[in-house]
Amino acid sequence: MTPRAQGQIGAQIYHLDGKLTTQPAALELQPWDDVMSGSQPDIDGRGDFVSIGSTFYVRANTFNAWQVIDAADPYYNLFASINPTAWQSATNPRVLGEASVNGSATWVLQANAPFGRQFKVWLRESDGYPLRYTIPWLNAKGSTYYINALYRQFNSGVVVTAPGLTNRGIVGPGTPVLLPAGTVTVGDVTFDCSGTAARRPMPGRKFVLITLTYVDSGPGGISIAPDDWRLYGDGVNGALPVDVGTTGLLPTRILSQGDTMSGKVAFDVPEDAYQLMTVGKLVGATVVVSTFLPMLPAGQSPCV
Protein backbone atom coordinates (compact mmCIF):
# COMPACT_ATOMS: atom_id res chain seq x y z
CA MET A 1 0.00 0.00 0.00
CA THR A 2 1.03 3.61 -0.35
CA PRO A 3 2.74 4.76 2.86
CA ARG A 4 0.73 7.17 4.97
CA ALA A 5 2.09 9.89 7.22
CA GLN A 6 1.32 8.94 10.80
CA GLY A 7 2.33 10.47 14.10
CA GLN A 8 5.24 12.61 12.99
CA ILE A 9 6.50 14.52 9.99
CA GLY A 10 8.13 12.20 7.48
CA ALA A 11 6.94 8.97 9.10
CA GLN A 12 5.78 6.30 6.68
CA ILE A 13 3.78 3.15 7.32
CA TYR A 14 3.85 0.04 5.14
CA HIS A 15 1.24 -2.65 5.63
CA LEU A 16 2.05 -6.26 4.80
CA ASP A 17 -0.17 -9.29 4.96
CA GLY A 18 1.30 -12.54 6.19
CA LYS A 19 0.69 -15.88 7.82
CA LEU A 20 2.52 -17.91 10.42
CA THR A 21 2.39 -21.26 12.14
CA THR A 22 3.97 -22.25 15.44
CA GLN A 23 3.94 -26.03 14.96
CA PRO A 24 6.12 -26.16 12.93
CA ALA A 25 7.57 -22.67 13.22
CA ALA A 26 7.05 -20.94 9.88
CA LEU A 27 6.30 -17.45 8.57
CA GLU A 28 5.52 -15.94 5.16
CA LEU A 29 5.24 -12.20 4.48
CA GLN A 30 3.64 -10.80 1.35
CA PRO A 31 5.47 -7.93 -0.39
CA TRP A 32 4.50 -4.33 0.20
CA ASP A 33 3.56 -2.13 -2.73
CA ASP A 34 6.35 0.09 -4.02
CA VAL A 35 5.98 3.80 -3.27
CA MET A 36 6.72 4.85 -6.86
CA SER A 37 5.19 2.07 -8.95
CA GLY A 38 2.24 1.04 -6.79
CA SER A 39 0.86 -2.48 -6.84
CA GLN A 40 3.47 -5.12 -7.62
CA PRO A 41 3.17 -8.04 -10.06
CA ASP A 42 2.74 -11.54 -8.70
CA ILE A 43 3.82 -14.57 -10.74
CA ASP A 44 3.41 -17.31 -8.14
CA GLY A 45 1.25 -16.13 -5.23
CA ARG A 46 4.15 -16.25 -2.78
CA GLY A 47 5.54 -13.59 -0.50
CA ASP A 48 9.13 -12.40 -0.73
CA PHE A 49 10.15 -13.62 2.74
CA VAL A 50 9.60 -17.15 4.06
CA SER A 51 11.10 -18.63 7.20
CA ILE A 52 10.73 -22.29 8.07
CA GLY A 53 12.52 -23.42 11.18
CA SER A 54 16.05 -22.00 10.98
CA THR A 55 16.02 -21.40 7.21
CA PHE A 56 15.11 -18.12 5.48
CA TYR A 57 14.04 -17.86 1.84
CA VAL A 58 14.25 -14.31 0.49
CA ARG A 59 14.04 -12.59 -2.89
CA ALA A 60 14.04 -9.00 -4.12
CA ASN A 61 10.65 -9.38 -5.80
CA THR A 62 8.45 -11.91 -7.55
CA PHE A 63 10.67 -12.02 -10.67
CA ASN A 64 13.92 -12.84 -8.87
CA ALA A 65 15.38 -16.17 -7.84
CA TRP A 66 15.10 -17.22 -4.21
CA GLN A 67 18.13 -17.03 -1.95
CA VAL A 68 18.53 -19.31 1.04
CA ILE A 69 19.82 -17.32 4.03
CA ASP A 70 21.16 -18.66 7.31
CA ALA A 71 19.04 -17.84 10.37
CA ALA A 72 21.98 -15.95 11.92
CA ASP A 73 21.43 -13.06 9.49
CA PRO A 74 20.69 -10.04 11.75
CA TYR A 75 18.43 -8.23 9.26
CA TYR A 76 16.13 -11.10 8.32
CA ASN A 77 15.99 -12.23 11.93
CA LEU A 78 14.00 -9.04 12.55
CA PHE A 79 11.19 -10.50 10.48
CA ALA A 80 11.54 -14.09 11.66
CA SER A 81 11.08 -12.88 15.23
CA ILE A 82 7.53 -11.88 14.35
CA ASN A 83 6.79 -15.56 14.98
CA PRO A 84 6.15 -16.07 18.72
CA THR A 85 8.20 -19.28 18.63
CA ALA A 86 11.30 -17.08 18.33
CA TRP A 87 10.60 -15.48 21.70
CA GLN A 88 11.48 -18.68 23.56
CA SER A 89 15.19 -17.96 23.08
CA ALA A 90 14.92 -14.32 24.21
CA THR A 91 16.83 -13.15 27.29
CA ASN A 92 16.28 -10.63 30.11
CA PRO A 93 12.47 -10.59 29.93
CA ARG A 94 10.65 -8.11 32.13
CA VAL A 95 7.14 -6.77 32.49
CA LEU A 96 6.83 -3.06 31.66
CA GLY A 97 3.20 -2.70 32.67
CA GLU A 98 -0.31 -3.09 31.36
CA ALA A 99 -2.07 -1.69 28.31
CA SER A 100 -5.31 -2.04 26.37
CA VAL A 101 -5.23 -3.34 22.78
CA ASN A 102 -8.58 -3.19 21.00
CA GLY A 103 -10.38 -3.35 24.32
CA SER A 104 -8.37 -6.29 25.67
CA ALA A 105 -6.21 -5.94 28.77
CA THR A 106 -2.61 -6.95 28.01
CA TRP A 107 0.71 -7.38 29.73
CA VAL A 108 3.51 -5.42 28.02
CA LEU A 109 6.76 -7.39 28.06
CA GLN A 110 10.24 -6.42 26.90
CA ALA A 111 13.10 -8.83 26.14
CA ASN A 112 16.33 -9.12 24.17
CA ALA A 113 16.20 -11.03 20.91
CA PRO A 114 19.00 -13.55 20.22
CA PHE A 115 20.63 -11.07 17.82
CA GLY A 116 20.82 -8.30 20.44
CA ARG A 117 17.90 -5.97 19.78
CA GLN A 118 15.18 -5.31 22.32
CA PHE A 119 11.60 -6.07 21.37
CA LYS A 120 8.23 -5.66 23.03
CA VAL A 121 5.15 -7.86 22.99
CA TRP A 122 1.61 -7.32 24.19
CA LEU A 123 0.10 -10.52 25.65
CA ARG A 124 -3.62 -10.78 26.36
CA GLU A 125 -4.05 -11.25 30.10
CA SER A 126 -6.96 -13.66 29.78
CA ASP A 127 -5.11 -16.37 27.82
CA GLY A 128 -1.57 -15.18 26.99
CA TYR A 129 -2.38 -14.78 23.28
CA PRO A 130 0.00 -12.27 21.58
CA LEU A 131 -1.76 -9.24 20.16
CA ARG A 132 1.17 -7.10 19.11
CA TYR A 133 4.95 -7.18 18.58
CA THR A 134 7.38 -4.35 17.83
CA ILE A 135 11.13 -4.11 17.34
CA PRO A 136 13.33 -1.19 16.18
CA TRP A 137 16.25 -1.35 13.79
CA LEU A 138 18.80 1.20 12.61
CA ASN A 139 19.60 1.30 8.90
CA ALA A 140 22.96 2.17 7.33
CA LYS A 141 22.02 5.87 7.20
CA GLY A 142 21.27 6.01 10.92
CA SER A 143 17.48 6.18 10.57
CA THR A 144 15.37 4.19 13.02
CA TYR A 145 12.55 2.02 11.71
CA TYR A 146 10.02 -0.09 13.55
CA ILE A 147 8.62 -3.45 12.58
CA ASN A 148 5.19 -3.98 14.11
CA ALA A 149 3.10 -7.13 13.94
CA LEU A 150 -0.60 -7.36 14.76
CA TYR A 151 -1.93 -10.87 15.34
CA ARG A 152 -5.57 -11.00 14.28
CA GLN A 153 -6.46 -14.65 13.61
CA PHE A 154 -5.83 -17.81 15.55
CA ASN A 155 -6.16 -21.49 14.56
CA SER A 156 -7.07 -20.50 11.01
CA GLY A 157 -5.57 -23.63 9.46
CA VAL A 158 -2.92 -21.93 7.31
CA VAL A 159 0.10 -23.80 5.98
CA VAL A 160 3.48 -22.28 5.09
CA THR A 161 5.59 -24.34 2.71
CA ALA A 162 9.10 -23.84 1.38
CA PRO A 163 9.06 -22.03 -1.99
CA GLY A 164 10.04 -23.87 -5.13
CA LEU A 165 13.56 -23.00 -6.24
CA THR A 166 12.93 -23.38 -9.97
CA ASN A 167 13.30 -19.67 -10.79
CA ARG A 168 16.65 -19.27 -12.54
CA GLY A 169 16.74 -15.50 -12.01
CA ILE A 170 16.25 -12.65 -14.48
CA VAL A 171 18.19 -13.00 -17.73
CA GLY A 172 18.37 -10.93 -20.89
CA PRO A 173 17.31 -11.87 -24.42
CA GLY A 174 19.70 -14.30 -26.07
CA THR A 175 20.61 -16.05 -22.82
CA PRO A 176 19.72 -19.78 -22.79
CA VAL A 177 17.86 -20.85 -19.65
CA LEU A 178 18.45 -24.38 -18.45
CA LEU A 179 15.50 -26.78 -18.42
CA PRO A 180 15.51 -30.35 -17.08
CA ALA A 181 15.90 -31.69 -20.64
CA GLY A 182 17.48 -28.81 -22.55
CA THR A 183 17.23 -25.03 -22.86
CA VAL A 184 14.89 -22.25 -23.91
CA THR A 185 16.06 -18.88 -25.23
CA VAL A 186 14.12 -15.67 -25.76
CA GLY A 187 15.47 -14.10 -28.95
CA ASP A 188 13.95 -11.22 -30.89
CA VAL A 189 11.47 -8.91 -29.16
CA THR A 190 9.49 -6.63 -31.48
CA PHE A 191 6.22 -4.72 -31.52
CA ASP A 192 3.59 -4.56 -34.23
CA CYS A 193 0.99 -1.81 -34.51
CA SER A 194 -0.60 -3.05 -37.75
CA GLY A 195 -1.46 -6.67 -37.06
CA THR A 196 -2.90 -8.88 -39.77
CA ALA A 197 -6.14 -9.21 -41.67
CA ALA A 198 -7.21 -11.73 -39.04
CA ARG A 199 -6.52 -9.48 -36.07
CA ARG A 200 -5.47 -5.86 -35.62
CA PRO A 201 -4.64 -4.08 -32.36
CA MET A 202 -7.30 -1.74 -31.00
CA PRO A 203 -6.54 2.01 -30.85
CA GLY A 204 -3.96 2.70 -28.13
CA ARG A 205 -2.76 -0.92 -28.25
CA LYS A 206 0.05 -2.84 -29.94
CA PHE A 207 1.21 -6.42 -30.28
CA VAL A 208 4.49 -7.57 -28.75
CA LEU A 209 6.03 -10.58 -30.48
CA ILE A 210 8.65 -12.64 -28.68
CA THR A 211 10.67 -15.36 -30.41
CA LEU A 212 11.36 -18.49 -28.36
CA THR A 213 13.81 -21.26 -29.23
CA TYR A 214 13.69 -24.62 -27.47
CA VAL A 215 16.54 -27.13 -27.69
CA ASP A 216 15.94 -30.65 -26.36
CA SER A 217 19.26 -32.18 -25.32
CA GLY A 218 17.65 -34.92 -23.22
CA PRO A 219 17.13 -37.03 -21.38
CA GLY A 220 13.37 -36.94 -21.68
CA GLY A 221 11.21 -34.57 -23.69
CA ILE A 222 10.34 -30.87 -23.49
CA SER A 223 6.69 -29.88 -23.53
CA ILE A 224 6.00 -26.69 -25.52
CA ALA A 225 2.83 -24.62 -25.11
CA PRO A 226 2.33 -20.89 -25.81
CA ASP A 227 0.03 -20.65 -22.78
CA ASP A 228 3.01 -21.35 -20.51
CA TRP A 229 4.07 -17.72 -21.05
CA ARG A 230 2.89 -14.42 -19.57
CA LEU A 231 3.91 -10.77 -19.94
CA TYR A 232 4.29 -8.21 -17.12
CA GLY A 233 5.24 -4.55 -16.69
CA ASP A 234 4.10 -1.03 -17.65
CA GLY A 235 0.43 -1.64 -16.97
CA VAL A 236 0.62 -5.25 -18.16
CA ASN A 237 -0.08 -7.77 -15.42
CA GLY A 238 0.09 -11.36 -16.56
CA ALA A 239 -1.10 -10.87 -20.15
CA LEU A 240 -1.88 -14.14 -21.91
CA PRO A 241 -0.69 -14.94 -25.45
CA VAL A 242 -3.05 -14.09 -28.31
CA ASP A 243 -3.39 -15.50 -31.81
CA VAL A 244 -2.64 -12.59 -34.13
CA GLY A 245 -2.95 -14.68 -37.30
CA THR A 246 0.67 -14.28 -38.36
CA THR A 247 2.97 -17.03 -39.56
CA GLY A 248 5.62 -18.57 -37.34
CA LEU A 249 3.66 -18.65 -34.09
CA LEU A 250 4.90 -21.16 -31.52
CA PRO A 251 2.98 -24.45 -31.75
CA THR A 252 1.98 -26.79 -28.95
CA ARG A 253 4.31 -29.77 -29.14
CA ILE A 254 6.44 -32.27 -27.23
CA LEU A 255 10.07 -32.39 -28.36
CA SER A 256 12.32 -35.43 -28.33
CA GLN A 257 16.03 -35.50 -27.64
CA GLY A 258 17.89 -33.72 -30.44
CA ASP A 259 14.89 -31.61 -31.54
CA THR A 260 14.93 -27.81 -31.89
CA MET A 261 11.82 -25.66 -32.21
CA SER A 262 11.45 -21.89 -32.68
CA GLY A 263 8.33 -19.78 -32.83
CA LYS A 264 6.75 -16.51 -31.76
CA VAL A 265 4.41 -15.76 -28.89
CA ALA A 266 2.27 -12.61 -29.26
CA PHE A 267 0.76 -10.39 -26.57
CA ASP A 268 -1.73 -7.51 -26.78
CA VAL A 269 -0.48 -4.58 -24.64
CA PRO A 270 -0.89 -0.79 -24.31
CA GLU A 271 1.12 1.07 -26.94
CA ASP A 272 3.17 2.87 -24.25
CA ALA A 273 4.31 -0.40 -22.61
CA TYR A 274 8.10 -0.80 -22.94
CA GLN A 275 9.61 -2.13 -19.70
CA LEU A 276 8.36 -5.69 -19.91
CA MET A 277 9.15 -9.02 -18.26
CA THR A 278 8.44 -12.30 -20.04
CA VAL A 279 7.70 -15.17 -17.66
CA GLY A 280 7.48 -18.84 -18.60
CA LYS A 281 6.11 -21.32 -16.05
CA LEU A 282 7.62 -24.49 -17.49
CA VAL A 283 8.06 -28.00 -16.14
CA GLY A 284 11.01 -27.85 -13.75
CA ALA A 285 11.84 -24.17 -14.36
CA THR A 286 10.44 -20.67 -14.06
CA VAL A 287 11.96 -18.55 -16.82
CA VAL A 288 12.10 -14.75 -16.36
CA VAL A 289 13.48 -12.63 -19.21
CA SER A 290 13.86 -8.84 -19.24
CA THR A 291 12.32 -7.99 -22.61
CA PHE A 292 12.52 -4.21 -22.70
CA LEU A 293 11.48 -2.55 -25.96
CA PRO A 294 13.35 0.51 -27.33
CA MET A 295 12.12 3.65 -25.58
CA LEU A 296 10.71 6.51 -27.66
CA PRO A 297 10.87 10.22 -26.75
CA ALA A 298 8.14 11.42 -24.40
CA GLY A 299 4.89 12.02 -26.22
CA GLN A 300 5.89 10.04 -29.31
CA SER A 301 3.67 7.07 -30.02
CA PRO A 302 5.10 3.89 -31.58
CA CYS A 303 1.89 3.43 -33.53
CA VAL A 304 1.87 6.37 -35.97
Q: How many CB atoms lie within 10 A of CB 184?
A: 22
Number of domains in the chain: 2
Asked if residue 194 and residue 240 are part of one domain, the reply reads yes
Please tell me the predicted confidence (pLDDT) of residue 117: 85
Q: What are the tens digits of pLDDT across the range 99-129? A: 999 999 999 999 998 777 899 999 999 999 9
Domain that residue 72 falls in: 18-88+131-150
Q: What is the 8-class DSSP label of residue 45?
A: S
Is 284 within a domain?
yes
Please tell me the predicted confidence (pLDDT) of residue 157: 85
Of 162, 189, 174, 126, the residue nearest 50 (C-alpha): 162
Length of the chain: 304
Please tell me the predicted confidence (pLDDT) of residue 5: 38
Asked if residue 137 and residue 58 are part of one domain, the reply reads yes
The enclosing domain of 257 has a CATH number of: 2.60.40.1240
Confidence at 293, pLDDT banded by 50, 70, 90: confident
Q: Is the pLDDT of residue 65 over 70?
A: yes
The answer to which of 6-10, 202-206, 217-221, 240-244 has the lowest mean pLDDT is 6-10
Asked if residue 229 and residue 204 are part of one domain, the reply reads yes
Asked if residue 143 and residue 65 are part of one domain, the reply reads yes
Look at 236 and 38; give whichever has higher pLDDT. 236
Of 155, 165, 153, the residue nearest 18 (C-alpha): 153
Start-to-end CA distance of the chain, whole Å, equals: 37
Asked if residue 262 and residue 185 are part of one domain, the reply reads yes
Is 8 within a domain?
no
pTM check: above 0.85: no
3-state helix, strand, coil in the chain (%, to 5): 5, 45, 50
Asked if residue 211 and residue 259 are part of one domain, the reply reads yes
Asked if residue 228 and residue 140 are part of one domain, the reply reads no
Asked if residue 195 and residue 137 are part of one domain, the reply reads no
Asked if residue 225 and residue 191 are part of one domain, the reply reads yes
Q: What are the tens digits of pLDDT across the range 173-216? A: 999 999 999 999 999 899 888 888 889 999 989 999 999 999 99
Q: What is the dihedral of CA 91, 96, 102, 103, to 10 degrees?
A: 130
